[in-house]
Amino acid sequence: MMPARKKWRIAGINFDFRHMDQLLSHAHTARNAEIVGISHEDAAEMQDVIRDCSILKDRVFTDWKKCIEQTKPDVVILCPASGAHADWVEKVAPYKVHVLIEKPFAANLAQADRMVAAMKKTRRKLAINWPLAWYPPHVTAHRLVRTGRIGELQEVHFYDGNRSPIWDRGNPKATPPALAQKKASWFYYANGGGSLIDYLGYGSTLATWYFDGKKPTEITAVSAGARGVPADEQSVTTARYGEWLSTFHTRWGTFSDPWDHQPQPKCGFVLKGSKGTIANYDYEDTIRLQTARHPGGKIIAVDKPKKPRTNPVQYFLNCLETGELIEGPLSPKIALIGQQIVDTAALSAKQKKTLKLLTK
């Protein structure tokens, strides 16, 4: 008789970033997982998850320490504000739990290094979830790049964003948030706020994945924002990879949210290789492949997700069960290169000059 499959005990701590709802929904539907506790200082922020994941009252906490100490999780999912990622990993790591933290990696390289060091001490695994890494068009594009369909990858061009991270999405008549609303939101704080931190990490980390770990040598970036807004609302970064240039655009203030209607420019990627190109946009069911055989372009249906690579929780638990290395954008190794690009871009925009890629 086969032994019963282990059920991983999962706790969701800190709901500052409401991507927590989706991550816990993955845990809720996983056969090898059980949500044993959730915690946030404001109980109102947890009500949707409590309802949707049928979480019992004795598993709901406003004190994160009690949550961990009383429920004894194997895995903690963290979704704190971007500027607090290192603090929260350092808080939970001593409890010897594996950590899945929502993007970005950190507000800066120093904080990312603290996170890696904290987890190394406990010999537990750390993964950084980038939702774009699970979108079928981007996964399909990666497969085509790795199998040589467009030759040697030379350029990655990225444009992404949303109307605003604090847009009232439940209100069809919503207007852009006022300056006072922006000043009151952590998304717009100087530490960890701004469109550059929020979206450049997506582009730079997935670009590193597409480039198979290759680093750019120099970065030039500019940023912009409405007068009086504490953090940037737009950025453009140019990265030199060898002889060629890649570009990364971030924007809070797109005409529409891409998950509702693709704005123009479209959100997603265009990849340029020595023998072809790929256009892979967020949320779309097809990608466009251009090669010498199809100079006018060929529309290809995206790959269907296959277990265990259908969502971050399933993938992370599979790595824990099998001992497989965490790969791709979720890997601290790949995400750290993405963070180097983000930090260099932020400094370049501040100093208004081209900089060599930062290391520390």
* Encoded amino acid at 296, one letter: G
Asked if the model's pLDDT at residue 3 lies above 70, the reply is: no
The domain at 8-129 falls in which architecture? 3-Layer(aba) Sandwich (3.40)
Each residue's pLDDT tens digit, 278-316: 999 999 999 999 999 999 999 999 999 999 999 999 999
With bands split at pLDDT 50, 70 and 90, how would you rate the model's confidence at 4?
Answer: low
Question: CA distances (Å), 9 to each of 17, 218, 324, 335, in order?
Answer: 21, 43, 19, 26
Each residue's pLDDT tens digit, 41-81: 999 999 999 999 999 999 999 999 999 999 999 999 999 99
Structural domain boundaries of the chain?
8-129, 135-305+337-356
Identify the weakest region by mean pLDDT among 31-40, 105-114, 184-193, 300-309: 184-193
CA distance 76 to 102: 11
Q: What is the predicted pLDDT for the residue at 1?
A: 42
Q: pTM for the whole thing?
A: 0.95
Q: 305: cis peptide before it, omega within 30°?
A: no
Instruction: Give the pLDDT mean for 243-257.
Output: 97
- Would you put residue 29 in left (φ > 0), alpha (ψ -120 to 50) or beta? alpha
- The domain made up of 135-305+337-356 has a fold known as Dihydrodipicolinate Reductase; domain 2 (3.30.360)
Each residue's pLDDT tens digit, 100-117: 999 999 999 999 999 999
R_g of the chain, CA atoms, integer Å: 20
Instruction: Give the pLDDT mean for 72-98.
Output: 97
Mean pLDDT of the chain: 95
